[in-house]
Chains A and B, each alone.
Chain A
């Protein structure tokens, strides 16, 4: 009888560990999804670059190049 109880408790313990491990893995996967976003951020920053502006500095360069 005592042996049976001990076996049952061991099984319950193993089940609990298994369920906890699955939940942990699910949490890790859920955290892993947002890590894919920095790539998208980089793509956005490509578009958001300020780029060429016809500033006073640039106009001055064009003026000197006409000489």
Chain B
């Protein structure tokens, strides 16, 4: 059985926030809630790194452990989802999550919290697949349509990988082996290919 995972390649992420926009557009996420966001480390310093962060669909999810009404559940593919009909908006999951994934709409002036909202790996919720009720509460159910999360599919540099954990791990491993590490990542070979892969044009003077 495939296990759904996200993996962000920090060497490729250009901090365009395309994934954030794609998520908002696809799931019609309300104002004040960002299911996904781009975090930049050492911003403005040469060698800065950006990664796109959302719910990591943990195998041993802290949000699941702390929820007092047990509204979280895990699908067969390892996607951590929640039932908004059961959620009481207590905010425990918000404090438990190390990635800041569960968020609450900040609509009211007096601390109105409503229902928690989080990344669903574009897998909807407990309602019937692609029903109106499911879309209104959780957003699009792309997994049931035979697709992958909109953020990963929209990523222009394919920095954000999403899907079967085994497959994307193999893709990332191939990338890391090809480009090397540290100073090898930068420079001529990254832009134009390794010397052994380059072919001299016919008739060129040596």
Q: A residues within 8 Å of B by Cβ?
A: 42-43, 45-46, 49-58, 61-62, 64-67
> Could you tell me if A61 and B77 are in contact, using CB atoms closer than 8 angstroms?
no
Chain B residues closer than 8 Å to A56, beta-carbon distance: 146
Q: B residues within 8 Å of A by Cβ?
A: 2, 4, 73, 75-77, 83, 85, 123-124, 126-129, 141, 143-144, 146-148, 152-153, 158, 161, 163-164, 167-168, 171, 174
> Could you tell me if A49 and B129 are in contact, using CB atoms closer than 8 angstroms?
yes
- 10 closest Cβ pairs, A-B complex: A55-B146, A50-B144, A46-B126, A52-B77, A65-B158, A53-B146, A42-B126, A65-B171, A52-B143, A51-B77
Chain B residues closer than 8 Å to A53, beta-carbon distance: 143, 146
- The complex places the Cα of A1 from the Cα of B198 at a distance, in Å, of 122
Residue pairs across A and B with Cβ atoms less than 8 A apart, 25 shown, are A42-B85, A42-B127, A45-B128, A49-B129, A49-B141, A50-B129, A50-B143, A50-B144, A51-B75, A51-B76, A51-B143, A52-B2, A52-B4, A52-B77, A52-B163, A55-B147, A57-B146, A58-B146, A58-B147, A61-B148, A61-B152, A62-B167, A62-B168, A65-B161, A66-B174
